[in-house]
Structure 1
């Protein structure tokens, strides 16, 4: 990643310099940071000190600014308006910043496939590109829009306003909503990590107090536990484990996969992806819950998540009126990870988890209102959990008091 960023950085600087030399030749670089001798005082005052800096220095300054500050900089002059809209500049920001985003949802998820597009062709030199080609590239790959709609500090401004039917739907949900919302929680992140998220959740009374005593469910698949969110709303989590505790523990220690008892394999599709069918008990659970919590193993270095993708899809499909039931994905690691600690268990960024699970494709013509959020979570400290639960309750029509996340 570092090497790729460095390569892109040099390309961005060359692109900015090319643009500046072509359209603002009187602002040519002064590498010694001194103005040209023949430049009048009036022109110096008009251009400003920042505009007279070398392009490389201007780029470094922009890398320290927040997205909002960069946009404000673009409003100061025609020169900066053009410079801050450079497509490759925002491609650099996307590549640099998306791994650090702690959450993403179905509206703000950026198109990461844009980052795989080639910068320039083998036969094409960056310095010889024509203006029309650059305009076409910017239209095809609007990195700036993708960044601003997904950046945590900017995304609220980019969220679409709620249509009238959504307001009415929320009102009807409030009327008919049960007193205790129920959510089904499943996924390998509950079973494969060194720290059990479910166990920590049951004993973290300072985070989510347990409202009722757990009771065993049918077939020993899971336990329904009720929690109280910030003394405001009670909700129930029904855990769906892939198998019994002994087999799960053995698989975790041996780092082996287990055959899930939640599904039966029906075969494969035309692409070779597994086709699953939920057991009758799981089907019944999906029909009565108000939403889903999928716990992803963000420590996994696997690239192929096709099995998990199929399981998520089949559970959503067997739920009645699945479009109105939110899906919260907890991108979970066992412990807080420090950059100073040399470990092979690095967190997979939440945007990468969303892409690997195919979550952007879940909102299809049959489920256009499906609400999805991916939230970074730590099992040991439960960091990020309350943010995810808050989003889940709001997406279910719950009105939280001011001051809640």
Structure 2
């Protein structure tokens, strides 16, 4: 019997027992004969020529082929006819490797304790992970992907972490997507709203700071834009010193270049500032009363407010209007900055909401005018209200303009 194995394009090697009389000298004991299409290595007439040439196939290769043929015949069965192996060995090796891989995967799956846990246990374990780790483990396997994409898991993660976010804007408020019943999953909403994730995704973007907020809000105009700063945080005993330090002390973030006179009666004066990129803007600080009036014991911020007028109609409903000079000034403003005391929710009363709404009402139709809410604390050791609580207390989600808190 003779087996034919394709070895090279130019020649075919025959491995088997040679029964011809001309090869008795080298094949008498049933040894393997190496023969090509045109010649045989055991031909006595070419013995000297072949001995001078390099062997076509090394003996190690011949032994390997013999071993493969023996295994293949054992696997596929032996026949009396001549069998021509055309790719059979390769198919045999591929099937054997695939079977070994499947067996290894089955063993790993059976040995995996986590794989056999109930779904509730897996979700409980994953609930201790952060958003970055959950995003990474979703690529481990199909089972982990479906568990890490669970909507309830990401909803609980968002409810837990939203109070730690240091900034929330009109595009990063989770309540906005929930109110409009967005088609986005809770994971997509979290990754879209989280300031930490946004910072990782946009490392070259501006750092979250006061001057960076101002730069992002400033309109791209050829003239110097005007910004109005107001709010109870300017007059609070805890946070007023911090605001004065930001505005009047020298720092590397913005440089005070000059004084701006007011265009309206008692309103509009301020300072001109220059940012590191060369852009300038005018900042006017609006106090509800003079410092002497605010220090009086019987002074009431609502009744003695020089910016707004609070009245009650026949039905007992409160109406708030800006005074004429303040109203005229607001019509020339390009951005608003509202300063609040972020140490307690008690500082965010209805009177502060009235003041904010009255200011924005004058530019209600100009939806491009942005609002920045500064939640200030006395020092780094003081506890700060979560931004989401400030957003909810001031009803910023109802605004029709860009905002950040």
Separation in 1, partners of 2:140, 2:299: 56
1:85-104 equivalent positions in 2, closer than 5 A: 85-104=149-168
Question: Is residue 63 from structure 1 mapped to residue 122 from structure 2 by the alignment?
Answer: no
Q: Which moved more, 1:227-236 or 1:140-149?
A: 140-149
Instruction: State the alpha-carbon separation in 2 of the partners of residues 255 and 53 from structure 1.
Output: 66
Q: What residue number does 2:357 align with?
A: 313
Give me the whole-angstrom Cα distance separating, in 1, the residues matched to 2:270 and 2:290: 16
Residue 196 of structure 2, aligned match among 153, 173, 193 = 153
| 1:78 equivalent in alignment to 2:124 | no
The alpha-carbon deviation at position 351 of structure 1 amounts to 1.4
Match of 2:89 in 1: none
Q: CA deviation at 1:79?
A: 1.8
Rounded to whole Å, the distance in 2 between the matches of 1:337 and 1:224 is 31
- Offset from partner CA, 1:178-198 (integer Å, 9 cap, x none): 421110111111111424244
Mapped to 1, the partners of 2:144 and 2:299 lie a distance apart of 53
Does structure 1 conserve the Cα–Cα contact (< 8 Å) formed by 2:109 and 2:115?
Answer: no
Match of 1:118 in 2: none
| RMSD of equivalent CA atoms | 3.8
Q: Would the aligned equivalents of 1:222 and 1:241 in 2 still touch at CA under 8 Å?
A: no
**Partner SS for 1:227:** strand
User: Is this contact kept in 1: 2:234–2:339, CA < 8 A?
Assistant: yes
Q: Of residues 249, 264, 277 in structure 2, which corresponds to 1:203?
A: 249
Closer, same or farther: CA 155–193 of 1 in aligned 2, 3 Å = farther
Name the counterpart of 1:243: 289
- For residues 40-55 of structure 1, what are the structure 2 equivalents within 5 Å? 42-46=105-109, 51=115
Asked if structure 1 preserves the Cα contact closer than 8 Å seen for 2:342 and 2:376, the reply is yes
Match of 1:359 in 2: 396
Unaligned runs of 5+ in 2: 1-102, 203-215
Q: 1:188 aligns with which of 232, 236, 248?
A: 232
| Unaligned runs of at least 5 residues, structure 1 | 1-39, 115-137, 160-169, 339-345, 364-369, 375-405
Deviations 1:119-148 (A, max 9, x none): xxxxxxxxxxxxxxxxxxx99995434322
The answer for the alignment partner of 2:270 in structure 1 is 224
Superposition TM-score, scaled by structure 1 size = 0.59
Residues 304, 228 of structure 1: alpha-carbon distance in 2 compared, 3 angstrom cutoff: closer
Q: Distance in 2 between matches of 1:182 and 1:57?
A: 54
- For 1:99 and 1:277, locate their aligned partners in 2 and report how far apart those are by CA, in whole Å: 34
Q: Does residue 373 of the first structure (1) align with residue 388 of the second (2)?
A: no
Q: CA deviation at 1:61?
A: 5.5
Equivalenced residue count is: 282
TM-score, length of structure 2 as denominator length: 0.59
Of 294, 298, 307 in structure 1, the residue corresponding to residue 342 of structure 2 is: 298
Q: Is the 8 A contact 1:287 1:320 kept in 2?
A: no
Secondary structure, counterpart of 1:230 in structure 2? coil
Tell me whether 53-62 or 320-329 shows the greater mean CA deviation.
53-62
Q: What secondary structure sits across from 1:288 in the alignment?
A: coil
Computing the radius of gyration from Cα coordinates, the structure with the larger value is 2
Query: Secondary structure of the residue that 1:275 maps to in structure 2?
Result: strand
User: How big is the shift at 1:247?
Assistant: 2.7
More RCO (CA 8 Å, sep 6+): 1
Q: Cα offset for 1:229? A: 1.4
Compute the displacement of 1:152 (Å).
1.0
CA contact (8 A) 1:87 1:141 kept: no
Q: Residue 155 of structure 1: CA displacement?
A: 4.3
d(CA) in 2 for partners of 1:306, 1:238: 24
Are residue 325 (structure 1) and residue 369 (structure 2) matched?
Answer: yes
Contact 1:264 1:276 in 2 (8 A): yes
